[in-house]
Structure 1
Amino acid sequence: MNNYRVHFIIILAVFLSACGTTPTGPITPPPSSADAITKWETSGRVGIRTPDDAVSGNFNWQKSSTEFALKIVGPFGQGATKLNQSESGTITLAYEDKVITGRDSAQLLQQELGWEFPVNQVTYWIRGLASPISAAQISTDPDTKLPNEIEQDGWLISYSSFIKVDGLSLPKKMQVSKPPFKVNLIINKWTIQ
């Protein structure tokens, strides 16, 4: 009788431990290439130089197929600038005590902050890709086949290092420049789907 009780407890324990480790939902496989990424989040350091200003701080950028949220915060948490796109396509720029809406993120940044920053193209460049909306010249490293530079729409995108994320090589350090505008990004964290 004691033997049956011991076997029952062992079988119950094995069953319960198996239930505890079984995934509760579908597992999404990682993207097979940088252009297959449908949703991502990056964070790190940013430096922005314009004709009238130089800004540095931290950034966090979340992007899905229809929405994005970009937040830049200056040193010690000062001077937050937020740029969001809703599912309907409305762009909201919030900085200081102002909130402005529009339909074009690059136009809002230029008009309100004097920053020239082609947000739509940068969503590709940040993944090491040329934007599909216009012609581009791409130079690659002969060994890794990763881009060294992309020239597109008058901008030069230079990549100085990459990081492995779920088997993909994604930019870690890059510069986006079109004199007199220059943006340096150091990406400390990537999350991709």
Structure 2
Amino acid sequence: MTYRSLCILAFTALLSACSSKPTGPITPPPASIDAISKWETSGRVGIRTQNDALSGNFNWQKDPTTFSLNIVGPFGQGATKLNKTPDGMVSLAYEDTVVTGRNPATLLQQELGWEFPVKQVTYWIRGLADPSSYARITKTADSHLPATIEQDGWLITYHNFTKVDGLSLPQKMQVSNPPFRVNLIINQWTIQ
């Protein structure tokens, strides 16, 4: 075998090694809804407050210590961004304003007049009650999925569920505490 043949063979072996599938661990899907540690949702949102009504698209990424919630109005207008960093600091950005604090619900209420219980909604959006307070849950007779959750003065109504990695997650829901109401239509779920 010539030196040139040996080089071509070595180069071909190197290329095939680079193109093979990684052999690292593959994260299995969560076994249950409450085992979801990280998720991303996107879809449409409608928000009604005492003095206003708006709609747009949302994207919400959540892991155990951080989150990023972005709401963008029609045609890219009126972007609102709510983020939490690993150290617990929360920032709210809207129009040309950025404010920071520790409680996302307080920032939304003080700055925008929106009553939106962010901590509880991280459970409700998965079809779960927040474990830190009492909740009354009504389930559907046929699927045993939640039809409503009443918790902390809020009524969460589930209209439709979708299967994601074998788990039933909300696809269409309403969170209301008059005069505040939030409608979510979730087009995409990614879970870990």
Q: TM-score, normalised by structure 2?
A: 0.90
Find the residue that maps to 2:78 and give its secondary structure: coil
Partner of 2:86: 87
Deviation per CA, 1:108-136: give whole Å up to 9, x if none. Answer: 00000000000000000000000011000
> Where does structure 1 differ by over 4 angstroms across 4 or more consecutive aligned residues?
none
Distance in 2 (alpha carbons) for counterparts of 1:75 and 1:188: 17
Partner of 1:143: 142
Distance in 2 (alpha carbons) for counterparts of 1:55 and 1:24: 47
Q: In the alignment, does 2:69 pair up with 1:64? A: no
Find the residue that maps to 2:121 and give its secondary structure: helix
Partner of 1:166: 165
Cα distance change, pair 153–26 in 1 and its aligned pair in 2 (3 A): same
Partner of 2:110: 111
Partner of 1:120: 119
Deviation per CA, 1:41-79: give whole Å up to 9, x if none. Answer: 000000000001001000000000000000000000000
Residue type of the partner of 2:48? Answer: R
Partner of 2:6: none
* Identity rate, percent: 72
Distance in 1 (alpha carbons) for counterparts of 2:132 and 2:174: 20
Distance in 2 (alpha carbons) for counterparts of 1:33 and 1:63: 17
* Per-residue deviation, 1:21: 4.7
- Structure 2 residues not aligned, in runs of 5+: 1-8
Q: TM-score, normalised by structure 1?
A: 0.90
Find the residue that maps to 2:142 and give its secondary structure: coil
* Per-residue deviation, 1:24: 3.6
CA RMSD, aligned part only?
1.5
